[in-house]
Amino acid sequence: MRADARDNRARIMTAADDVFGRAPGASTDDVARLAGVGIATVFRHFPTKIELLEAVLTLRLERLRDRALELAGSDDPGKAFFEFFTQVVAESASKLAIAEALTASGATAGEEVRAVGHGMRAAFDDLLTAAQKAGAVRADAQFAEVYALLIGASRGATAAGLEPDVRDRMLGILYDGLKHS
């Protein structure tokens, strides 16, 4: 790919992340405008809106997976676990909006989205295990339960439109339940 094409693709992805993260019903025209490219350029890179949404959702999940992997090397596994949990919940509104836009387009997550999502969950599981071994998270909390709490907190904070201070207090209560006593 030529340098200008790579730059256009990167601008389109950044714009799409912003546009669809704020408004699931946004159009590819909105993306093109924000990216400073023509609609034909958007469709040259992403022939359908669904492909663009999948690419943006994949990028979001890759960032989360990579952040979890980065935090896995932390000297303080408990802090790393709770930091990642907080980040996921804090960023959930725009990620859920992108997933909602994909669903509204009549599509289900493609193979790449599912694979990256699986990698993100595995990295989260590693963070949980390390935090438990360090004594920062209760040992009887299984991955399925903790992941359900992550999803529930993310969806709840988004649905309620929680302000950051309220969200953080809610997470504090949840974290008190997860901490080793």
Indicate which CATH number applies to the domain containing 37. Answer: 1.10.10
Quick one: 118 and 156 in the same domain?
Answer: yes
pTM of the model: 0.88
* 106 plus 56 within the same structural domain: yes
Give DSSP secondary structure letters for the chain.
Answer: --HHHHHHHHHHHHHHHHHHHH-TT--HHHHHHHHTS-HHHHHHH-SSHHHHHHHHHHHHHHHHHHHHHHHHT-S-HHHHHHHHHHHHHHTHHHHHHHHHHHHHTT----HHHHHHHHHHHHHHHHHHHHHHHTTSB-TT--HHHHHHHHHHHHHHHHHHT--HHHHHHHHHHHHHHHB--
pLDDT number for residue 98: 84
Tally of domains within the chain: 2
Say which CATH number the domain at 110 has.
Answer: 1.10.357.10
Q: Which domain holds residue 57?
A: 50-178
pLDDT tens for 32-42 read 999 999 999 99
